[in-house]
Amino acid sequence: MSDISEEIVPQKLTSKDFVPAQDVKWCPGCGDYSILKQVHTIFPELGVKKEDFVFICGIGCSSRFTFYVDSYGLHGIHGRAPAIASGLKASRPELSVWVVTGDGDALSIGGNHFIHMLRKNFDINLLLFNNQIYGLTKGQYSPTSEIGKITKSTPYGSVEQPFNPAELALGAKATFVSRTLDRDPKHMQAILRKSYFHKGASFVEIYQKCPVFNEGAFFMFTDKETKKTESLFVEHGKPLVFGVNDDKGIKLDGFKPVVVDLNENGNSVNDLWIHDEKDRIKANILAGFSDPTPELGHLPRPFGVLYAVDKPTYEDAMAEQIKKITEKKGKPSLNNVLSGDKTWVIG
Amino acid sequence: MESKFDIIETDSVVVRFSGDSGDGMQLTGMQFTDTTAFLGKDLSTFPEFPAEIRAPAGTLAGVSGFQVNFGSKEIFTPGDQYDVLVAMNAAALENDLKNLKKGGIIITNTAGFDAKNLRLAEYPEGVNPLEDGSLDDYELYKIDVTRLTKDALKDMGLGNKEIERSKNMFVLGVLYWMFDQSPDYTINFINEKFTKNQIIADANIKALKAGVNYGETTEIFNTRFKISASNLPAGNYRSITGNHATAIALIAASEKSGLPLFLGSYPITPASDILHELSKYKEFNVRTFQAEDEISAVCSSIGASYGGSLAVTSTSGPGMSLKTEALGLALMLELPLVVINIQRGGPSTGLPTKTEQSDLLQAMYGRHGESPLPVVASESPADCFYTVYEACRIAAEHMTPVIVLNDGYIANGSEPWKYPTEDELTPINVHFTTTTNNEGGVFLSYKRDEKLVRPWVKPGVKGLEHRIGGLERENETGDISYEAENHEIMVKLRAAKIEKIADYIPLQIVDTGKENAKVCVLGWGSTYGAIKSVVLDLVKEGYDVAHIHLKYLNPFPKNLGELLNGFETILIPEMNNGQLIKVIRDKFLLPAIGLNKIKGLPFTTIEIREKILELLNK
């Protein structure tokens, strides 16, 4: 009897359960450490058995994540983690599947798999560590590096315009699009939790510091002096407010976002844009708040859940189809398949 | 009545249906074939169609052909030359006349020989082969199929276009009369196909019967054939194409292994039918995933295999190239994976609808690093079943990707198949590890068994949590290792694991002829039929020749070297520029001789026969 009661009482996991014996080998000061810490922190709370977590990664600094969570994991090939994860999730829907990727892995070599995994809406959590640089290959510009970026492969500056990952994810029909930062642990934990509980493909862009090749790329969003004016933390149902004393807000003038000073001209918080994460049109405008956007003027960078809607997942739709057809056709016999329906006898 | 025409009794006949892509020649040929099979004849087919979906009507580029060789004797090839050519238009005649036997029968639709059709078929101005006596050496029948079909269907209230579409049925009816075959099978087929459109069903049946009656009542035909049923081994038969056999082999392997089936695939000619066919079998818990590209097709399969599925990806040459990096990963992960390559003419886009055997070296060596993989090849449409099933067994029991090399010729071709029952299939023994495998309750993810196979653990098993990946693993523990000695050990272990498969496959047998013959014809893949029928004939004629056919290309059966050493001369016919020959020379240091055909077409028996005779007479 004692065996049975042991089975029933859920095992209480702690973050230590997810820390493997293996040493973590990222550079000192890398933003990845914070992300790993937050994952270790929230995992015990999710109600998932330790053995049911699977990390599928590609290649790059971020993709080493596979080895740093003590559960199941597959360290794959460059850019292909979403494809590997799709096959796993389609065939094993009960597993909690996580893809960790970087700006080069997801948006350059793996761009096709990235958009299609989101479009097909597998219930997979994809964490994109965006550091706007190639780290593991020692410092070339990435598809999120800004125009003019000086790197080893662009000594005279990059001539390419960068992707805005949130816009790309929305364009790919992602059902959950969010952004957070390595230097804001509490916010990241909240977003990771939401991404887990979202049923469908969850896209989490994490601004991540590369202290070796791209130091300070995102400091303006976390440094005391600039954080309040440069970052906009959005929450569903709440007005878009930012600024040193929460004294600035964003209003919509048609489709155009306008920054207003709440201390001036009788501007009221009641007139501001209320964030509605289910509104696809507004989510697209919000995702567009990225520099440089000359036609909009300078806007703060939004963090939080930009968009979240429920749609059927690929794996559920696939299982449903199998179930329906099996119910309709009944229990099949392999012998019928082998013979087909047109046979003849010789002899 | 009977005396008006010659009745030719023969043991085999080759018929070629040829027409415009829009004339329905593939369907007509398949119907003729299925009826023939159903009536107990042995047969072999060769569908040949252009790469364009609808090339301009009436042009040479738009000719679509379907060839069938059938008879009362054992049939191994679709035939070198045909006895009967059905030419629905001038382009079809121009394209296919060259392989009609001298004195053979030509049945033409005269409506397809008007000025426009003649011009499109590139006949010189004013020349009509039906009228200028150039076909006097043949038995030519000029039938205005289009008009006769219109007359037959004129009261049915159908448009011109719909009537036009039934003209292939009229021709099929004529052929059924000519070969003394009942049209009933096709009537059933039409009724089933058009259950929701009775008028179209009626029109097609009417056209078919009109064709039969035309043969019966007009007195234009001089020839009628009589072919008795074949003496195929007793049993239950069905007709099958290679791609269809492949699909049901996968279902059978899934059922026999207890592994759920997952197919990741991206549409590509000539492999897409495997995806089409499998996606019909959802009631077998089959998951088909049409991936966004070839790389995702293989990678999703790797993901499914990691999760415990029987994972398969199907493709052709260009797709195979795209999958190679992922194959290296699967090899490193040591997970089961079946990779089916329906070879076509290459490189690059090459000849998408034509056949070739030119991906053998790619399968053997086409990955970076030291990366051997098992390779097997099918010899005929029905054999695709057994080969693909065997590939699944090797993959699952030996924890490795396995490459299957089929080709367009056998993938699209069909033959009668004495199908097995499920009890007759070899068991596939799969073991998932659920407990630790070392002292002190430790789990070692790369600890090998007697087959040198590592444990397969499904994510979700408590206590065995571990990570795998493409970085070099440490022997036994499976941890990442950059250690020099370890890498060498692992490379050798992976190679030894593949070599070890030779202990679990049958020894090589001599297919036809005897050991130590003067000439051994060594083949692999779809050349089987042509080689087999030539060597059978030559042995009957008393020549000292033998045929060995390889299903297992890596590893080879253990006795192959010894067997080959017993022959004076080894001839290796291949539809490529010499690939197996390189492997054989490398492996056994044998001075084999090649016979190579790189025309996108299968060998004719004549081509092989002449080469063998040349070697025998040396």
What are the tokens at A142? 């990435």
In this model, does residue B508 exceed pLDDT 80?
yes
State which amino acid sits at residue B589.
L
Identify the CATH class of A9-217+312-316. Answer: alpha beta
- Cβ burial, residue A214 (10 Å; 0-12/13-18/19+): buried
Segments making up each domain of chain A, as ranges: 9-217+312-316
In this model, does residue A6 exceed pLDDT 80?
no
pLDDT of res. A274: 98
pLDDT of res. A293: 65
In this model, does residue B369 exceed pLDDT 50?
yes
Whether the complex's predicted ipTM surpasses the cut of 0.90:
yes
What is chain B's alpha carbon radius of gyration, rounded to the nearest angstrom?
27
A91-100, A169-178, B18-27, B545-554: range with lowest mean pLDDT: B18-27
In this model, does residue B212 exceed pLDDT 90?
yes
In this model, does residue A3 exceed pLDDT 70?
no
Which residues of chain A does B245 touch, with a Cβ-Cβ cutoff of 8 Å?
none
pLDDT of res. B4: 66
DSSP code of residue A162: P
pLDDT per position as a tens digit, A335-347: 999 999 889 999 8
pLDDT per position as a tens digit, A125-175: 999 999 999 999 999 999 999 999 999 999 999 999 999 999 999 999 999
pLDDT per position as a tens digit, B81-140: 999 999 999 999 999 999 999 999 999 999 999 999 999 999 999 999 999 999 999 999
pLDDT of res. B231: 86
- Report helix, strand or coil for B560: helix
For residue A4, name the pLDDT band (cuts at 50, 70, 90). Answer: very low
pLDDT of res. B395: 98
What are the tokens at A101? 């990727």
Q: Cβ–Cβ of A345/B480 closer than 8 Å?
A: no
Contact (CB, 8 A) for B39 and B409: no
Q: Which residues contact B416 (CB under 8 A, 6 or more apart)?
A: B37, B41, B42, B43, B232, B237, B238, B239, B240, B382
Full strand arrangement of the beta sheet holding B414-418: A343-346, B235-241, B414-418
pLDDT of res. B374: 98
How would DSSP label each residue in B499-552?
HHGGGGSPPP--SBS-TT-SEEEEEEGGGHHHHHHHHHHHHHTT--EEEEEESE
pLDDT per position as a tens digit, B23-80: 999 999 999 999 999 999 999 999 998 888 778 999 999 999 999 999 999 999 999 9
Contact (CB, 8 A) for B149 and B166: yes
Q: Cβ–Cβ of A74/B303 closer than 8 Å?
A: yes
pLDDT per position as a tens digit, B220-237: 888 899 998 888 899 999
Q: Which residues contact A304 (CB under 8 A, 6 or more apart)?
A: A178, A179, A180, A187, A191, A233, A234, A235, A275
A292-301, B64-73, B583-592: range with lowest mean pLDDT: A292-301
Say whether B519-616 and B238-423 share the same fold: yes
Contact (CB, 8 A) for A54 and A71: yes
Taking the CA of residue B483 and the nearest CA in chain A, the distance in Å comes to: 16
Q: Which residues contact A50 (CB under 8 A, 6 or more apart)?
A: A11, A13, A17, A18, A43, A70, A71, B462, B465
Q: Nearest by CB to A337, which of B236, B251, B479?
A: B251
How would DSSP label each residue in A275-331?
P-TT-HHHHHHHHT--S--TTT---PEEEEEEEE-----HHHHHHHHHHHHHHHH-S
Q: Which residues pair with A253 in a beta bridge?
A: A256
Does B251 touch chain A if contact means CB atoms closer than 8 Å? Answer: yes
How far, in whole angstroms, is CA A313 from its chain's centroid?
16
Q: Cβ–Cβ of B460/A51 closer than 8 Å?
A: yes
> How many Cα atoms within 13 Å fall on the side-chain side of residue A79?
14
For residue A11, name the pLDDT band (cuts at 50, 70, 90). Answer: low
For residue A2, name the pLDDT band (cuts at 50, 70, 90). Answer: very low
Taking the CA of residue A270 and the nearest CA in chain B, the distance in Å comes to: 46
pLDDT of res. B222: 87
In this model, does residue A265 exceed pLDDT 60?
yes
- Report helix, strand or coil for B100: strand
Does B422 touch chain A if contact means CB atoms closer than 8 Å? Answer: yes
DSSP code of residue B479: -
How far from B55 is each of B20, B50, B112, B153, CA to CA, in Å?
Answer: 9, 8, 16, 28
Q: Nearest by CB to B238, which of A52, A86, A342?
A: A342
Q: What is the 3-state secondary structure (H, E, C) of B266-313?
A: CCCCCCHHHHHHHCCCHHHCCEEEECCCHHHHHHHHHHHHHCCCEEEE
Q: Nearest by CB to B303, which of A49, A88, A343?
A: A88
pLDDT per position as a tens digit, A98-111: 999 999 999 999 99
Taking the CA of residue A48 and the nearest CA in chain B, the distance in Å comes to: 11
Task: Say how many CB pairs under 8 Å bridge A and B.
Answer: 204
How many Cβ atoms are within 10 Å of A138's Cβ, its own excluded? 11
How far from A139 is each of A133, A148, B1, B34, CA to CA, in Å?
Answer: 6, 15, 90, 64
Q: Which residues pair with B123 in a beta bridge?
A: none
Segments making up each domain of chain B, as ranges: 2-226, 238-423, 439-504, 519-616
| Residue % of chain B over a pLDDT of 90 | 93
- For residues A41 and B87, what is the distance between their CA atoms, to the nearest angstrom? 75
Taking the CA of residue B290 and the nearest CA in chain A, the distance in Å comes to: 11
pLDDT per position as a tens digit, B406-437: 999 999 999 999 999 999 999 999 999 999 99
Q: What is the largest CA-CA distance in chain A?
A: 99
DSSP code of residue A106: I
DSSP code of residue B155: G
Residue indicated by tokens 């309040």: A228
Nearest to B419 by CA among A295, A29, A335, A34: A335
Contact (CB, 8 A) for A72 and A46: no
For residue B19, name the pLDDT band (cuts at 50, 70, 90). Answer: very high
Q: Which of A260-264, A265-269, B320-324 has the highest mean pLDDT?
A: B320-324
pLDDT of res. B6: 83
- For residues B347 and B406, what is the distance between their CA atoms, to the nearest angstrom? 16
Q: Global pTM?
A: 0.95
Q: Cβ–Cβ of A112/B464 closer than 8 Å?
A: no
pLDDT of res. B180: 92
Q: Does residue B347 have a cis peptide bond before it, meaning omega lies within 30 degrees of 0?
A: yes
Q: Does domain B2-226 fall into CATH 3.40.920.10?
A: yes
Mean pLDDT of the B204-225 span = 92
CATH number of the domain at B519-616, out of 3.40.50.1100, 3.20.20.70, 3.40.50.920, 2.60.40.1930?
A: 3.40.50.920
Residue indicated by tokens 């600890």: B447
Phi, psi of B184 (to 5 degrees): -60, -40
Q: Which is it for the CA torsion A115, A121, A122, A126, positive or negative? A: positive
Question: How confident is the prediction for chain A on average, in pLDDT?
Answer: 94
State which amino acid sits at residue B179.
F
In this model, does residue B607 exceed pLDDT 90?
yes
Question: How confident is the prediction for chain B on average, in pLDDT?
Answer: 96
pLDDT of res. B1: 43
Closest residue in chain A to residue B285, using alpha carbons only: A322
Q: Which residues pair with B261 in a beta bridge?
A: B310
Closest residue in chain A to residue B282, using alpha carbons only: A322
What CATH topology corresponds to B238-423?
Answer: Rossmann fold (3.40.50)
